[in-house]
Amino acid sequence: MDFFSTFPFPLLKSSRSYRGVRNCFRDFWELIWSLFKPTGTCSNSVLRCYGCSALKAKSRKSRWTLVQSDLEALPIGIAPEEYTDLLRKDEATAHYHAELVTRYTSIPKHPWLLARFGMSAFLSGRAIARRFRSERTRALFAGLAAHSFLSLDEQLSGAMGMLMAVLAHAVGWPIPRGGSQSLTNALCRYLSTFESTLKTSSRVESLAALSNYDPILCDVTPRQLLEIGGARLSKSYRRQLASYRYGPGVFKVDYALNRPIPWKASECLRAATVHLGGSFEEIAAFEQVVRDGRHADHPFVLLAQPSLFDSSRAPEGKQTAWAYCHVPNGSNVDMLERLEKQIDRFAPGFRDCVLARRVFSPAHLEKMDANLVGGDIGGGAMDIRQFLFRPTWRHSATSARDIYICSSSTPPGGGVHGMCGYHAAKTALSKFGAR
């Protein structure tokens, strides 16, 4: 097995772009891919064996609503019966999680639980939020549903809200100790136990160069597959790939801070991930504007403050944070002022804490990682069509017997869960008669 990656990882220190970040942030640890990984918990056991541990970030917030993973300890400000009734709890919650993340393309183990979930999940975020009497619950749900990158009036935006809520209670929203690089390191250590080589800084320009490999699993989105493998694919399959649609992008800022963020609500310091948006209506209005291809003044901001929970992320006494807001795909509008104004609204004096910041426009992100087409971090829009046929009805398979796609442009879509690769590997193995 050989692996090719455009990234210089895991040889971080030899990377020029990485050194740039290090210089900017001095001793602040790598931030770019420092994410929360609720969806990754299914592969946790392997990663734990190879030295990556998750810190269970217990809580998240939206308009002063704090969610703890223990459903018994109800989210502060949420009307208990309507929220727990929607999510159900205990075993059922864990089953939803397992079903949704791991069994997307196979026969469900718990069809009734899945069907019960599906009855709610196919609704729009707004339709589900109508069930909540409390404005705080509605605001919380808006933030969760906004992870879909859809308008909150679109079908399936509710599914993402439900999924994020279920994960928050089933497994929390953990963050990897040491940042996302520790996931890559753990995977590389695991790989080294097989007969395999990892070739970093090696962009694959054409699949023709890999003619002695069989099968080839491509961690790319349809646009790139067309570029590097177009000649190997049938005409009709190429047409299907060309019609694949990408979702909105993100405008992201990494921060080195001289102290914790001065939240108006000190409970925010108990949350690794904070949603800043105000009410359901504010968040819904912003997401609609983005879906319409425009930019609004009051973005919905997703902010993470990992160093509060992981001391390895910043020098003693200092903090790190990152934040992003959604923007139309490929946007080149500078959202920094608007994004920081929104943080300042909930944490007056925030800008005084900033020691250094690094801004990533959608174009910057795509330059770093070709999969982030136009800044889309989910590998393509997750509307009904692309939920069912992602990227085509063939899912990970392509029109060529030996070529497979294993990126987030295949089921179950974006997120650090590893399941796209898992499904692609299973498909390839089954085609080649192995198990």
Ligand X SMILES: Cc1cc2nc3c(=O)[nH]c(=O)nc-3n(C[C@H](O)[C@H](O)[C@H](O)COP(=O)(O)OP(=O)(O)OC[C@H]3O[C@@H](n4cnc5c(N)ncnc54)[C@H](O)[C@@H]3O)c2cc1C
Residues that bind ligand X (CB under 6 A): 4-7, 35-37, 39, 203-204, 219-220, 224, 228, 250, 252, 324, 365, 369-372, 377-379, 407-408, 414-416
Q: Minimum distance from CB of 99 to ligand X (Å)?
A: 18
Taking the least distance from each CB to ligand X, the nearer of 134 and 202 is: 202
Nearest distance from C-beta of residue 311 to ligand X, angstroms = 20
Q: CB of 228: closest distance to ligand X in angstroms?
A: 6
Residue 20 Cβ, how far from ligand X at the closest point, in Å? 17
Specify the residue, 153 or 402, whose C-beta has the smaller distance to ligand X. Answer: 402
- Comparison of 7 and 29: residue with beta carbon closer to ligand X: 7
Distance CA 185, CA 188 (A): 5
Residue 157 has, within 13 A of its CA and on its CB side, a CA count of 26
Nearer to ligand X, 285 or 370 (CB): 370
Q: Nearest distance from residue 112's CB to ligand X, in Å?
A: 27
Long-range pairs of 231-237 with CB within 8 A, sequence gap ≥ 24: 232/207, 232/208, 232/400, 232/403, 233/398, 233/399, 233/400, 233/403, 234/399, 234/400, 236/399, 237/392, 237/394, 237/398, 237/399
Q: Which is nearer to ligand X, 75 or 247 (CB)?
A: 247
How far apart are CB 414 and ligand X at their closest, in Å? Answer: 3
CB of 204 to ligand X, least distance (A): 4
Give me the least distance between CB of 210 and ligand X, in Å please. Answer: 10
Q: How far is the CB of 256 from ligand X (least distance, A)?
A: 17
- C-beta closer to ligand X: residue 42 or 127: 42
Residue 104 or 324 with smaller CB distance to ligand X: 324
Nearer to ligand X, 126 or 290 (CB): 290
- Comparing CB distances to ligand X, the nearer of 4 and 280 is 4
309 Cβ neighbours under 8 A, 6+ residues apart: 55, 57, 175, 272
The residue (of 35 and 160) whose beta carbon lies closer to ligand X is: 35
Pairing of strands 54-55, 216-218: unpaired
Residue 205 Cβ vs ligand X, minimum distance, rounded to whole Å: 7
